Amino acid sequence: MYTRSFPFGGSRMPRLFLLFSLSLCFAFWSCSSLTEEITDLREGDERVQHEIQVTQTPNTPDAAARAGQLGGPVMMQAFYWDVPAGGTWWEHVESKVSAWSAAGITSIWLPPVNKTMNGPFSMGYDPFDFYDFGEFDQQGSVETRFGSRQELESLIGSAHQEGLEVIADIVLNHNSGGNAEFNPFTGTETFTSYVPASGKFFRSYLDFHPNDMRHADEGVFGGFPDLSHVKPYVQDWLWKRPDAVAKYYKEVMGFDGWRFDYVKGFGAWVVRDWVNEVGGFSVGELWDGNAQSLEDWVNATSQTSSAFDFACYYLMEQAFDQNNLNALSGDMLWKRNPMKAVTFVANHDTDEIWRKNLAYAYILTHEGYPCIFYSDYEEWLDKERLDNLLWIRGHLAFGNTSILYVDQDEYIARRNGGPGMLVYINNADFWQERWVRTNWANTEIKDYTGHSSWQPFTQGDQWVKIQVPPRSYSIWAPVGF
């Protein structure tokens, strides 16, 4: 499951190991079902009324407060797998934060920042010293792959000046790089002796599974020593004591939130207790395409954490690459709990969706907290098109969501806040047109993507005909925004 995929074809190589405060301005919505009238274009441009069951997330009192603000937050995953080694990445990302902020990005997610077993070569998912940010000569280098502590602190400071939150990638399931020691619980030698140069969080076989308190927890990754979170000593160093990892990262280094790696490997209570101790936005990597499983995990954290919406991810792959937009009617975390869903099109571990223009049009116009992948934005896709979607999200994407129409090739949804908008996605090889009901009567509307030159007026009963180009999307709202 943990693979790295190449965007333009080629082989997918398995990973060797999991080499992986502004408050959110979301309204809180829960999913419900209602009947929405739609119309279908028939011969002679005749409108014939139908009824279908569609999904809508109802308004709450918080929605009014949100209506006067820009659209919800957008995260940039500010790295990809095997970014250039040599200690230059923090400086590179710092050079981007001003432009990202201006485009509508509100937070950046950094790779793990601490020294690892593989020192200057590691992507950070094999943690050794949680307090070495590129300042101690150990594990083959002083700097990490990404740079020095000073460069990291400069990046965080610049991001904050641009109004960006900075999300730390936290690897708590396993450690790597310890020395061998005799382990009485296994009767063998294990690599569980950790003597970090920072002088903080020394570990031994007592701090891993099996130990005197517990034989195992929810999961082991790659055969690495499995950290035991039930041990009071481990809890103290991770989040409880004044210089615990969580508090040091937040209060000293300046991180605003957390991305928790491989949360299948330990109890959701760990994330809950961490966030309850130090606060900040949190999202867990629960690699599971079942929306119920994702919601269950969020609930198990006592709603302290969001989760990446893998259910949405896999359904988008079916919709856009397997030519079946009906998949977008499926169950997703954002439909169940949009305030706790982080939607995405690709990341450093998985890159399966090929028609990304449609996928980004989907997540950037719908509820949830969308995450843009660095390589998509900076290298592979049309940045101007993505910036246009970011503008649309920031100025038009408000309120709850109604799915107005969906079939194999067409998908139309409406955001119901002010000003609101219509998003029309077309997976066919030809232009499409359809009558839909809007929230606007006798109002001139236009396509804010520029894909269509139409500027129709809605009728007194709020109906209007809109169009969309082949293999593309259009996004409609009243003229003047």
40 is in an annotated binding site: no
* 91 in active site: no
Instruction: Kindly report the number of other CB atoms within 10 A of residue 460's CB atom.
Output: 8
CA distance 115 to 60: 45
In Å, what is the CA distance from 221 to each residue of 119, 258, 265, 269, 400?
20, 20, 7, 19, 39
Among residues 306, 324, 304, which one has the least CA distance to residue 315? 324
Sign of CA dihedral 369, 375, 380, 385: positive
β-sheet with 371-373: strand ranges across: 341-342, 306-308, 281-284, 257-260, 165-170, 107-109, 75-77, 371-373
Neighbours of 136 (CB within 10 A): 17
* Structure token pair of residue 119: 């020192």
**Does residue 226 carry a catalytic annotation?**
no
> Is 290 known as a binding-site position?
no
Q: What is the dihedral of CA 342, 117, 375, 166, to 10 degrees?
A: 50
The rounded distance, in Å, linking the Cα atoms of 98 and 100 is: 5
Amino acid letter, residue 269: W
Amino acid at 56: Q
Q: Choosing from 256, 261, 351, 409, which is the catalytic residue?
A: 261
**What does the alpha-carbon distance between residue 41 and residue 144 come to, in Å, rounded to a whole number?**
59
The residue type of 61 is: P
Active-site choice (285, 288, 349, 376):
285
Q: Which helix (H) or strand (E) holds 297?
A: helix 291-300
- Cα distance between residue 91 and residue 2, in whole Å: 28
Question: Which DSSP string do the residues of 325-347 spell out, in sequence order?
Answer: GGGGGS--HHHH-GGGEE-BS--
Give the separation between CA 100 and CA 75, rounded to whole angstroms: 10
Catalytically annotated residues: 261, 285
Pick out the residues of the known binding site for Ca(2+): 173, 236
